[in-house]
Amino acid sequence: MTVAFNKEDVREGLKKVYDPEIGINIVDLGLVYDADISDAGDVLVTMTLTSLGCPLGPVIVQEVQGALREFPNIGDIDVKLVWSPPWTPDMMSEDAKDELGMW
């Protein structure tokens, strides 16, 4: 089976997932560190949250899985939460910083 999507497609798909507290997608927030795709179409998303005790972490993980299930022939979807490197506002895209009024 040929996988019909790539890492950039996954990143674009994850832009549909918003941090409910901040209101910006998780890619532009800089929360998504990597996405590995196996030959079988399994996806491993390595990401972090804005804080270690983020109460909405489980919700965000579910939304990541839901957003990626839309891909044709996708296999297993796993989300690996990591805390190193820790997230900082410097990781946000320029668009996200502009939206939040950060210069």
Domain boundaries, the chain: 7-85
Distance of CA 26 to the CA centre of its chain: 5
Q: What is the pLDDT of residue 80?
A: 97
Distance (Å, rounded) from C-alpha 69 to C-alpha 54?
A: 24
Q: The tokens of 47 are what?
A: 């990401």
List the 43-47 sheet strands across, edge first: 32-37, 43-47, 77-81
Q: Is this structure's pTM higher than 0.85? A: yes
Angle between helix 57-68 and 7-14 (nearest 10): 130
The hierarchical CATH code for the domain 7-85 is 3.30.300.130
How many other CB atoms are found less than 10 A from the CB of residue 48? 23
Q: Which residues contact 79 (CB under 8 A, 6 or more apart)?
A: 44, 45, 47, 61, 64, 65
pLDDT digits (tens, 9 = 90+) for 25-79: 999 999 999 999 999 999 999 999 999 888 899 999 999 999 999 999 899 999 9
